[in-house]
Amino acid sequence: MKSSSKRQWWVPLGLVLLSLVPVLAGAARVGELTGGAQITAENARFFASPVPVVVHIIGASVYCLLGAFQFAPALRRRRRWHRIAGRVLVPFGLAAAVSGLWMTLFYARPPADDVLLTPIRLVFGVSMVACLVLGVTAIRRRDIAAHRAWMARGYAVALGAGTQVLTHLPWMVLVGQPTGTPRVVLMLAGWVINLAVVEWALRRRPTARPDAASRQISSRTPAGAASGSPTR
């Protein structure tokens, strides 16, 4: 395998690794709910209403792990695979976002969470839904650049939990479990870092020339449709 072929897998691999901690934590939570674990103050809200958290864990796990491979150019060029994966990812992503919004609104707020985390979670949950909807709308009108941008932003929001592990880790090592305002800042930092990286990557990507884009669309359009005359 050529070095350039190897390099294109670094980003998907990194995203999978970043997803692993929240995915494994989610799997442990599902095991706790299905295995009859002891009910405590920390998990009582999940036992009282388990469906939203299970939907959230499954939706987010599939979305983050499968979604990582949408960033592999070799797979993205396989249009059939890319489309099938996208049709799986959108409903799972929406399930993760909507269930997350439900939990934010209706689960009791954990003692470690400051009240400011509630509106922040709502903003990012709604933003993820909006990104997915805008991404689907863009591809339906064949705006590939906008589709990639919105889907990448939605993925960045979903992967916030992975980056939040990294933002929390130094504080936990040096100070202990963050609560109150420090936890708000560390949680917010995870989402902001992800979105900043995505925006940097989008601006770094070369923009296709309008004439090239026109030729690409024209090559996929029947001659009769391109000329405005009906085909027979």
pLDDT digits 0-9 by tens, 128-169: 999 999 999 999 999 999 999 999 999 999 999 999 999 999
- Put simply, whether the predicted model's pTM sits higher than 0.85 gets the answer no
Q: Which two tokens stand for residue 134?
A: 């805008």
pLDDT digits 0-9 by tens, 15-38: 999 999 999 999 999 999 998 788
Question: Cβ–Cβ contacts within 10 Å for residue 213, how many?
Answer: 15
pLDDT digits 0-9 by tens, 52-109: 999 999 999 999 999 999 988 887 778 888 899 999 999 999 999 999 999 999 999 9
pLDDT digits 0-9 by tens, 165-221: 999 999 999 999 999 999 999 999 999 999 999 999 999 876 544 444 444 444 443
